Copies of this chain bind each other. A is one copy, B any other.
Amino acid sequence: MSFGDGIKIVLVEPAGERNIGSIARVMKNMGLTALVLVNPQCDPFSEEARLMAVHGADVLQGAMVVGSLPEGLRDCQRAIATTARPRGIPTKLETPREALPWLWEKNINSALIFGPEDRGLSNQELSYAQRFICIPSNPEYPSLNLAQAVGVCAYELYQHFHNQQSPPTNQEEDTELASLEVLEGYYQHLESVLLKINYLYPHTAPAKMEKFRRLINRAHLQPQEVAMLRGILRQAEWAIAQNREK
């Protein structure tokens, strides 16, 4: 899939080695490969960072380190900046779900920019972007960990990609359902056993069986599940007969 190369994750002055490692991991999880580090305030290739990246180590290793934000955005046509809260930005703040799909377009290079852990993006840094997103969160404590913020955005991008490229296959369709005939066979069998053990009496049977049918129908049984339930009935009949013979 040529999804991840066209969208860069740009971290401005990240200070946490573990955060950078975690970000490489979640980028790999979500099919993103291009990581740009603007003037990092720590060693992004440290042991700590690599440990957190796990199988995203190649994303970390391939990260591009640059001295300034414009340098990091050089070949991009579109950029979205993230911000923790409205701070007098004259443009509209959008949600990731609304805005992020815009980054993903053929023959377009684009960037998603995140600020430093402690201060977020400055107004000057924000001004390099064309659109702005804020991750919806609890007003009492809106500030997400940087790696979590990248995770949520990468997840939203992947969701969008995933839903476009290949609509989710309906797994229910792969699950073969028992035919009504097979189900009917089970209900008949069940009724006869319930009559045998005096749980049902001929005059109560129809009403009780209706409840039972409704319950079982809700479970959308597969053929092998009906076979299992009938196995239980046969075994119960056997247990009763065994004791009868003794």
Contact = CB atoms under 8 A, between A and B. Distances in A.
A114 interface: no
Given A199-B232, A235-B198, A141 B55 contact: yes
Contacts of A135: 155
B220 A218 contact: yes
Given A29-B141, A30-B138, A239-B198, A168 B95 contact: yes
A4 to B, nearest CB: 8
Contacts of A194: 232, 235
A228 interface: yes
A141 B33 CA distance: 12
Interface string A141-182: 111110110011001001100100000100110010000000
Interface string A204-239: 000010011001101111100100100110011011
Contacts of A76: none
A185 B138 CA distance: 38
A97 B159 contact: yes
B198 A141 contact: no
A94 to B, nearest CB: 8
A138 B31 contact: yes
A54 to B, nearest CB: 8
Contact of A158 (B136, B231, B236): B136
A108 interface: no
A145 B25 contact: yes
B215 A225 contact: yes
A42 interface: no
A216 B220 CA distance: 10
A137 B219 contact: no
A135 B25 CA distance: 15
A93 interface: yes
A2 to B, nearest CB: 13
A90 interface: yes
A25 to B, nearest CB: 6
A240 interface: yes
B235 A30 contact: no
Given A197-B236, A239-B240, A148 B26 contact: yes
A203 interface: no
Given A29-B148, A197-B239, 5 more contacts: A22-B145, A31-B138, A95-B168, A199-B236, A236-B236
